[in-house]
């Protein structure tokens, strides 16, 4: 196959930051995607409808002239979120979900939930108004190995949560393990997003020739057994799995430091990366459903009408994108790609 035309996709898990970084990275998403679920982990986090509206306005102002893009907003769940916040979010029309971060689990998660059991009143309200819950599914217990955090979260927190709120629609984001695949497949009102890095790489990529900080993300890359399991899920045609890049821009100096930030920047070339992953298992015919159909279906939104085209073409990923403060290094910087969006 030399050319692939798809319904324009959406990104159901995206970080665009704010300020100058927002202006620098948003055009790359707009080029490929019609809509995106915007993560709320700013400093300070987006906790109210008013804060979400203000952030949405800043995103819209950063859309390149003549381009169409719809930011789908989320609120940051905290120990202090109230059921009334959920009702207001649903009424807004532009807040599409709430995001759960365990406190201290990842970038800008210090304001996250300290005990998921404290949020039952909020989950009940979400279930009543049909507001999806987006989970960063990891525990933060220091006694739990970093490679086991997703599995333990499912066992200790997600299983009881679904027992208490069976009708609550949940997206387990950026899944990384066979355990997550199995749980999502077996559980009603559950879906999952999958990133390009977790489809393409296992944990060896972190240490190829030395420490590779631009492959470091959370949840961390896992064993090859798990990579194969989520690749099989993504290419299975199941509507429970859909595209969410978790593209997370950090400047070079914040990644290449004594305590580097977690996150892979893939907004530049996300669809090309997904096409490579799907082609690798002879499943390009399944890419459109995963990228363009199953996400809007889960969120109750119309599928896009426009199309994009990818062509077979060798090109080199830039070593760095220039920013005002420090360069931004894309995932697989300097390497060759075999698909290109035109």
Tell me the backbone φ, ψ of residue 27, rounded to 5 degrees: -55, -30
- The distance from CA 86 to its chain's CA centroid, rounded to whole angstroms, is 22
What is the distance between the terminal CA atoms of the chain, rounded to a whole angstrom?
Answer: 15
**Closest C-alpha among 190, 206, 207, 197 to residue 227:** 197
Neighbours of 117 (CB within 10 A): 12
- Cβ partners under 8 Å of residue 74, min gap 6: 37, 38, 39, 40, 46, 52, 95, 96, 97, 98, 99, 134
C-alpha distance from residue 241 to each of 81, 191, 237, 292, 294 (Å): 28, 6, 8, 11, 7
Q: Which of 130, 246, 297, 319 is catalytic?
A: 246
The C-alpha torsion from 316 through 322 and 325 to 331, rounded to 10°, is -20
Radius of gyration of the chain (CA): 19
Question: Is residue 246 annotated as part of the catalytic site, yes or no?
Answer: yes
Residue 282 token pair: 């002879």
Q: For residue 126, what is the enclosing H or E element?
A: helix 120-129
Rounded CA-CA distance 154/172 in Å is 10
Rounded CA-CA distance 61/258 in Å is 35
Task: State the helix-helix crossing angle for 178-186 and 224-234, rounded to 10 degrees.
Answer: 30
Q: Specify the length of the chain in residues.
A: 342
Residue 240's Cβ-count burial label (10 Å; 0-12, 13-18, 19+) is middle
Beta strands in the chain (DSSP E): 3-7, 11-14, 35-38, 70-76, 95-100, 133-135, 170-172, 190-194, 241-243, 307-316, 336-341
Active site residues: 246
């Amino acid at each position: 196959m030399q050319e692939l035309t798809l319904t324009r996709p959406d990104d159901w898990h995206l970080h665009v930051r704010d300020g100058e970084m927002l202006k620098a990275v948003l055009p790359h998403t707009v080029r490929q995607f019609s809509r995106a679920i915007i993560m709320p982990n700013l400093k300070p986090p987006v906790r109210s409808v008013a804060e979400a509206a203000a952030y949405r306005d800043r995103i819209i102002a950063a859309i390149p002239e003549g381009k169409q893009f719809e930011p789908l907003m989320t609120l940051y769940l905290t120990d202090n979120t109230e059921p009334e916040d959920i009702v207001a979010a649903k009424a807004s029309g532009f807040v599409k979900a709430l995001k759960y971060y365990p406190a201290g689990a990842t970038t800008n998660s210090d304001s996250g939930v300290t005990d998921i059991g404290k949020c039952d009143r909020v989950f009940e309200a979400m279930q009543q108004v049909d507001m999806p819950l987006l989970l960063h599914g990891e525990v933060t217990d220091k006694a739990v190995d970093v490679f086991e955090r997703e599995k333990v979260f499912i066992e200790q927190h997600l299983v009881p949560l679904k027992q208490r709120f069976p009708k609550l629609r949940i997206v387990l984001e950026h899944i990384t393990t066979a355990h997550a695949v199995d749980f999502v497949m077996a559980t009603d009102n559950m879906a999952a997003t999958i990133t390009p890095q977790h489809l393409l790489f296992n944990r060896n990529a972190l240490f190829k020739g030395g420490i590779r900080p631009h492959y470091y993300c959370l949840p961390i890359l896992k064993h090859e057994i798990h990579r194969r399991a989520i690749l099989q899920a993504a290419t299975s045609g199941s509507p429970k799995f859909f595209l969410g890049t978790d593209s997370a821009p950090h400047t070079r100096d914040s990644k290449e430091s004594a305590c580097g930030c977690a996150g892979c920047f893939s907004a530049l070339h996300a669809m090309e990366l997904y096409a490579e992953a799907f082609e690798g298992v002879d499943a390009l015919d399944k890419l459109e459903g995963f990228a363009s159909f199953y996400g809007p279906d889960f969120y109750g939104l119309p599928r896009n009408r426009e199309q994009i085209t990818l062509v077979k073409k060798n090109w080199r990923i830039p070593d760095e994108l220039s920013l005002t403060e420090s360069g931004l290094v894309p995932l697989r910087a300097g390497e060759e790609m075999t698909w290109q969006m035109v």
